[in-house]
Structure formats: C-alpha cells, structure tokens
Amino acid sequence: MFDFLKTLDRRWIFLAMLLAVSLPILAQKTFPEQPTLHVRNVFQKIEDLPEGSTIMISFDYDPGTTGELGPMTTALLRHCCLKRHKMLFLTLFETGSPVIDQAIKEVIEDEFAELELKSGEDYVNLGFKPGREVIIAVIGLNLRQAFPSDHSRTNLDDLPLTKNIVNLQDLDLILDLSAGYPGWKEWVQYAASPYGIPFAAGVTAVGAPQAYPYIPGQMLGILAAVKGAAEYEAALGEKYPKYRDPKLNEGIRRMAPQFWGHLLVIGLIVLGNCIHFADRWRGTP
C-alpha cells in the first residue's frame, strides 16, 4: 500500500479531483455563507447610494476567468438594477466586449425585463478601447477623448445618461471586475487614488492577496473570486429575500465544488507529507 501511494499515478489524483468537483455540482448541495467585512463594505456602498446614482463597471476579464468572475458580475449588476442605478460599462481587455454583451442580456434584458431599462438612458455600453491604463488616465480628465461614442457608435452627447458626464470624477462609484493586467491596480493608480473616486473590485483568487494593502484607503473592499461572489449573494439575500433561492445564486452553488476540492487538496497534502515523513523515518530517499 505504501509503495502504491509513493508511486501513485497522477491520473488517480486527477480522477479524484474530477469527482470532488463534479459530484457536488450534480448533487446541487449548497452551504450557508456569511458576508465578510470587505464584501459587506462593497454591498453597503451600492445599497447606500441614492437611487439613480451613476456607477461605472469595467469588465477587465474574458472567458478564461468567467468561472471566477461571472457570478459576482451577475450579483453586482443585479444589485445595481434593484437600486435603479445608472450603469456605464467598458472593458480594457481585447476579448472582454462579448462578456459585457452577455451580462447585459442575462441580467438587464432577461432577469429585469419588467423594469424595461433602456440603453442610453439607464445603461451605456462603451465597449473596448485599446490603450490599457492610458485609457483610464485619459477618461479621468475627459471621457469623450477615449470614448466619443458608445459601443453602437452613438455620440455620447446624444445619450441622456452620458450627456452630462465629463469625466470619471462625475461618477459615484467605479467597480472593476479584474482578471489581471490591466485591472484593479491600474484603476487605483489612475482613477481612484488621484481623484478620490469611490472604488471597489472583484478579483480572481490569485490576484486577491495583492489587493488587500489598498483597503480601505484606495479601495472600499474586494470580492475575491467565487467565495466573494457567494458572500455578496448572501448579503443580497439578507436584504432582498427573493434572492435567497440557491438557484439564483451561482456563486453559492459553486462553493460546494470548491468545498470538496479544498478538502481533497488538504487530504493530498496530508497524505504526501505522511509519505515524506515515513520515508525519512525509514531512511529511504
């Protein structure tokens, strides 16, 4: 048995991980979530803004990280719609534009169809613009210099939502859904910090530790990966009972595979170390 474990074929580990994440998905078991301080800060900021406030949401990710950032995108947009906030969307990722289209379709056009939110009035999709952090620096002073028109080529001066917005300083909040570079750090450096604009970010798990030093000075809080999304959904459910239904909360549903995946990794670390110490005790290399 010891020799089997010592020379364990990694395909057994792959199979175990496959089962650890797929069975909970099939079983649809969920666990309760408790919003942490950073998530609650973001939630409270959106909740406390007066109805009709203007929020910019930058979709700085693409399909590779949709698994992590998709659920929080839905939750944040859902909250903005519930509060009837005005939304400006953009992306600094070349491949991010369709992700915006999908979020608009799923949340604004389908889920909140009864609100009849109108493009140009209630939300504006600015689309993608190459230039990374330079774009943030430019729109910090003049939105039209980088985005003279929206995604459908309508002049910003002709849209009720944007006609009075000169630059980022006219916004009430900026949210960045960030998978890397350009992302939350560039928004902090070129928008939140120089102009003192309230800012929060949703980040991938691997990017979260780097974001903590900016809280609470430059960032209100962060939503870290699926766990952050699940906590935000829990906060939304506390305030709006309709959203306690697990079927509506993709983040909470995805925490079950994460739960078993983490337990498997812990088990593998313990097992690997048991083999390591057994080897040392036996005096074998």
Partner 1 sequence: MKSTIPWLIAAATGFVMIAAYFIPAAQGWQGEVGTWFEILAAFAFVLGGANLFAYHLGKISARRAGWGYSGVTLVAFLVTLAAGMLKLGVPAPDRYPTNAWAGDFQFEGSVSWWLYWYLYNPLNATMFALLAFYVSSAAFRAFRAKNTEATVLLVTAFIVLLGRTYAGAWLTSSVPENYSALTFPGMTAIILAVGNTAGQRAIMIGIALGVAATSLKVLLGVDRSYLGSDGD
Residue ranges that bind partner 1, judged by CB under 8 A: 8, 10, 13-14, 16-18, 21, 31-34, 36-37, 62-67, 95, 97-98, 101, 129-131, 134-135, 137-138, 140-142, 145-146, 151-152, 194, 208-210, 212-213, 227, 255, 258-259, 261-266, 268-269, 271-273, 276
As given in the structure block, the two tokens for residue 117 are 């939110």
CA distance 26 to 43: 30
CB of 284 to partner 1, least distance (A): 14
Q: CB–CB of 127/151 below 8 Å? A: yes
User: Among residues 130 and 241, whose Cβ is nearest to partner 1?
Assistant: 130
Smallest distance, Å, CB 233 to partner 1? 14
DSSP H or E segment with residue 48: helix 37-48
Q: What one-character DSSP code corresponds to residue 57?
A: E
The length of the chain in residues reads: 285
Residue found under tokens 């903005």:
80
CB of 252 to partner 1, least distance (A): 10
Q: Is the distance from CB of 251 to CB of 232 less than 8 angstroms?
A: yes
φ/ψ of residue 173, rounded to 5: -165, 145
Q: How far is CA 47 from the centre of its chain?
A: 17
Minimum CB separation of residue 50 from partner 1 in Å reads: 30
Nearer to partner 1, 239 or 262 (CB): 262
Dist. CA 55–CA 127, nearest whole Å: 15
Q: How far is the CB of 210 from partner 1 (least distance, A)?
A: 6
- The residue (of 112 and 259) whose beta carbon lies closer to partner 1 is 259
Closer residue to partner 1, CB minimum distance, 49 or 215: 215
Query: Considering beta carbons, is residue 93 or 199 the nearer one to partner 1?
Result: 93
